[in-house]
Structure 1
Amino acid sequence: MRVALVSATAALGTDDDEAFLLPALRAAGADPAVVVWDDRAVDWAAFDVVVLRSTWDYTMRRDEFLTWVAATDAVTRLRNRPGVVRWNSDKVYLRDLAGYGLPVVPTEFLSPGDRPALPDGVPFVVKPTVSAGSRNTARYAPGEQDVARDHARRLLDRGRTVMVQPYVASVDERGETALVFLGGRYSHAVTKDALLVPGERATEDKLFATEKLHAVQPSAAERAVADAVLDAIPFPRDELLYARVDLVLGADGEPAVLELELVEPSLMLPQAPPEAAGVLARTIVALAGPDRQER
């Protein structure tokens, strides 16, 4: 069976997961290829399964990307599915998670035409709701409202929705905990060191931010929150090829959701147990099923 691992032109050769997933797919009997999502020469129907991996430029062309996602799923098996991608590719989904009663980092959303209202007396983060890799994202200290307001206005003037969150202090000490699920089941967890540097201004020059990662054993509370997130969303968790739940510790010491990654998350396979790549590969191969016409 043929499997497409979908990337972006600028991301080719930069996905650390590929070095583990490609040989695992071959060992599972698949013929994998890394292809670019907007390459018009690709015949997507020639693949049995198409897996979104390093499509990290989609945030700058979301509408075009979603059109491609729907068209590709119509001729093959795309994972994760179009409905999942549409819902999760705009971080307004955090509002849904909070509405489900899940612990979410407090988030204010600003729409084009809104007057930016920013926190006073606490550090905070400003970023667009359609973003990845820390692009157009910055951390501001108390007293930096003017420069932060300019940042928000630039995004709003370009028709983008903006999100404002308090900067969670625990990130500087212990980072974020990213819990990875494969086929709906917990696989492994990694800590990510703090990325946002005080005084560093927002930029869209980089395709992704370089992360410092460390394998970690999540706490029982972190596992419980991550499981609750996947059980609450409007998609069956066992139909998700992959999922990553990024948590931080709030001021009360309890885990809170910073992001839920269902589109093209790094799965941190270099930091994962040795069997993780094989589990993912076999799950991908199983998607074709005995009847390859069923989607």
Structure 2
Amino acid sequence: MTSAVGARYDDDLPRIVDALRAGGLAAEAVAWDADSPGWDGFDLAVIRSTWDYSERLDEFLAWADRTAGATLLCNPAPVVRWNSDKRYLLELAERGVPVVPTRFVEPGDRCEEADVDQAGGVVVKPAVSAGARDTARYEPGRSADAVRHARTLLDQGRTVMVQPYLRRVEEGERALVFLGGAFSHAIRKGPVLTEPGVVDNDRVAHPGVTPYRPTGEELAAARAALAAVPEPGPLLFARVDLALDDAGRPVVMELELIEPNLFLQSDPQALGRLAEAVTEAVAGVAGPTIGP
């Protein structure tokens, strides 16, 4: 599945469709909110570039539930719902997964400077968002600016996340991609929040992408995060975003299970692995018709 914006900007989508068709499957790219797409006519529906979902969350989650009742949805609707709100980081931490320390402030609560006081600065963002929308970082001594940002989000009825700014993110964020439950490839990209105190919803979400070989500790952190997802069985696709804390240990920034960029062009085997994972997922379903 895609969306209006995804159809315009998802460079991987036509390549995925072509690879599936080359493998003998009848594949079609369909917008998730298309009129009467007839999801029961597909054996498998694969969420890909539904990049407007966070702005229409209730509508999207209701769609996921309906679609899962008509066909096999990947990733599953309960995972989509769980992963749509970044309060899942609390569950990961409770299960022993190393995550960026995160404070959540709920609508109706007061946000004061003490809530955003971190020696190295803070990041303020909504708990439901994608592509670093409505997100900014604040240098030490700019707590009043961070509070104003948080209160603006709270006034909109949105839950706010406050995290310490990890300085070593400037060495590059790591994104580890898993396909069919197995590690496939990884990339490193430049920092997104390059200018402090600025909310820029037009910023490049993945600057300076380069292939990357993760360390054993990074792989262990990513696998621990995936093992903590409250859904049995391997996911069709997953991306685990990591950064290094001040001690150089990898911590989970986000767990991307809904519509992540999988950076398929960064590894020559990645597209084939995804096509194989989709083929295996549909193998037990009658009739090879796939809707990515």
Gaps of 5+ in 2: 288-292
Whether the 8 Å CA contact 1:20–1:269 is kept in 2: the answer is no
Whether the 8 Å CA contact 2:102–2:161 is kept in 1: the answer is yes
Gaps of 5+ in 1: 1-5
Q: CA deviation at 1:150?
A: 1.4
Q: CA offsets per residue over residues 170-218 of structure 1, 9 Å max, x none?
A: 111x2111110001100001002101122352244x4972532110110
Comparing 28-37 with 189-198, greater Cα deviation is found at 28-37
Q: CA deviation at 1:45?
A: 1.6
Mapped to 2, the partners of 1:287 and 1:183 lie a distance apart of: 8
The residue aligned with 2:19 is 24
**Counterparts of 1:139-158 in structure 2 under 5 Å?**
139-158=137-156
Count of equivalent residues: 284
1:169 partner amino acid = R
1:137 partner amino acid = T
Query: Normalized against structure 1, the TM-score is what?
Result: 0.91
Query: Normalized against structure 2, the TM-score is what?
Result: 0.92
Whether the 8 Å CA contact 1:25–1:278 is kept in 2: the answer is no
Whether the 8 Å CA contact 1:91–1:129 is kept in 2: the answer is yes
Residue identity over aligned pairs, in percent, reads 47
Is 1:216 the counterpart of 2:216 in the alignment? no
Q: CA deviation at 1:263?
A: 0.6
Whether the 8 Å CA contact 1:56–1:208 is kept in 2: the answer is no
SS at match of 1:34: coil
**Counterparts of 1:111-260 in structure 2 under 5 Å?**
111-116=106-111, 117-172=115-170, 174-199=171-196, 201-204=198-201, 206=202, 209-238=205-234, 240-260=235-255
Q: CA RMSD in A?
A: 1.7
Call closer, same or farther: CA 1:207–1:52 in 2, change over 3 Å. farther
Mapped to 2, the partners of 1:193 and 1:150 lie a distance apart of: 27
The residue aligned with 2:281 is 287
The residue aligned with 1:88 is 83
Mapped to 1, the partners of 2:155 and 2:285 lie a distance apart of: 49
SS at match of 2:46: strand
The residue aligned with 2:290 is none
2:270 partner amino acid = A
1:139 partner amino acid = R
Regions of 4+ moved over 3 Å? none
